[in-house]
């Protein structure tokens, strides 16, 4: 199998989870060999996802049984600054992979996001797969375009919508928890939203779920998310408590989405009941042992 974007925050965990259950997982990503992959074992290929000719050649060379697409332009601000690149990475590349998967017969698992929602109020239990998407950002719109392009080209592909991810980023200060912990360690004060609700998930659980779903007889859209609805503020406090901070509320600034952040959605909580039934694995609330009373 191949993991496109296999050097990213999620991708490295997908690769490890796949190898742990016996897949020969090949990393396709910029700088892939810098991670110490063994070239002789064909474990990695330094590849720009936007180079479709190179991607076509890689698919022909490796002839994978499955491709997991973790590649994306994922920061909202980056997508706003360069919507053309955002569309290319988030929509055009997934469409290319879907066409290739239909022609070559490999399993395509495409990673999408909860931010395809946001313009409409969330149901009390969170958005389910049949709810109509309505993004509020260039990022969400291009990811939605990618979803639709994938399923148009190959209805047998699987699109997994993930929530806000946290957890171990291997010292790179990535994700919703390590970035906060790293900022505090630099004596900075992270600004954390108190009015943006998500259903966050540890990146390791997300990766294990993705790998488990490669062989599952499920296609279309599936939500994989944590069981608890919380704000970035509460998640950040939990993460800081987990590394020993006893008064984390004194180390961060609680902020709202007004002004520059107005386009951020108020609530994109996901209902992952279908996924839990499919894979029968625990999708845990992050840092649950460090929860306290609801944030103000």
Query: Rounded to the nearest 10 degrees, what angle do helices 175-185 and 232-242 cross at?
Result: 60
Backbone angles phi, psi at 287, to 5 degrees: 55, 40
Locate tokens 């946001």: which residue?
A: 118
Please give the C-alpha separations between residue 129 and each of 110, 141, 205, 220, in angstroms, as whole numbers. 15, 17, 20, 9
Provide the H-helix boundaries in 89-137.
93-104
Backbone angles phi, psi at 223, to 5 degrees: -95, 130
Q: Which residues contact 229 (CB under 8 A, 6 or more apart)?
A: 126, 197, 198, 199, 267, 269
Asked if residues 201 and 237 have their Cβ atoms less than 8 Å apart, the reply is no
Catalytic site residue from 23, 117, 139, 193: 139
Is 139 among the residues known to form the active site?
yes
Strands lying side by side in the sheet with 220-223: 44-46, 26-29, 2-4, 66-69, 107-113, 158-162, 220-223
Asked if residues 262 and 136 have their Cβ atoms less than 8 Å apart, the reply is no
Locate tokens 């879907």: which residue?
A: 98
Provide the H-helix boundaries in 127-196.
138-153, 175-185
Measure the CA–CA gap between 210 and 232, rounded to whole angstroms. Answer: 24
Q: What is the DSSP letter of 288?
A: G
What does the block give as tokens for 267? 């609530």
Query: CA nearest 251: which of 194, 176, 188, 182?
Result: 188
Q: Which residues are catalytic?
A: 139
């Amino acid at each position: 199998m191949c993991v496109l974007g296999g050097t990213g925050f999620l991708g490295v965990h997908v690769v490890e989870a796949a190898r742990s259950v016996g897949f020969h997982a090949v990393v396709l990503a910029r700088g892939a060999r810098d991670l110490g992959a063994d070239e002789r074992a064909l474990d990695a290929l330094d590849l720009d996802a936007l180079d479709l000719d190179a991607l076509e050649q890689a698919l022909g060379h490796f002839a994978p049984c499955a491709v997991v697409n973790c590649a994306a332009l994922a920061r909202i601000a980056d997508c706003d600054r360069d919507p053309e690149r955002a569309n290319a990475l988030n929509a055009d590349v997934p469409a290319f992979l879907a066409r290739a998967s239909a022609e070559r017969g490999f399993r395509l698992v495409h990673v999408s996001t909860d931010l395809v929602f946001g313009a409409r109020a969330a149901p009390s239990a969170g958005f389910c797969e049949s709810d109509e998407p309505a993004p509020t950002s260039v990022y969400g719109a291009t990811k939605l375009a990618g979803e639709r392009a994938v399923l148009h080209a190959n209805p047998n592909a699987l699109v997994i919508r993930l929530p806000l991810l946290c957890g171990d980023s291997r010292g790179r200060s990535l994700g919703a928890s390590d970035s906060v912990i790293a900022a505090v360690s630099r004596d900075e004060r992270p600004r954390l939203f108190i009015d943006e609700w998500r259903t966050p998930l540890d990146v390791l659980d997300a990766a294990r779920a993705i790998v488990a779903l490669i062989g599952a007889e499920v296609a279309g859209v599936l939500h994989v998310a944590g069981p608890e609805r919380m704000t970035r503020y509460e998640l950040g406090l939990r993460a800081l408590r987990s590394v020993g901070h006893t008064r984390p509320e004194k180390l961060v600034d609680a902020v709202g989405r007004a002004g520059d952040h107005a386009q951020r959605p108020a609530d994109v909580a996901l209902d992952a009941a279908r996924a839990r039934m499919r894979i029968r694995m625990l999708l845990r609330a992050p840092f649950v042992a460090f929860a306290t009373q609801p944030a103000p």
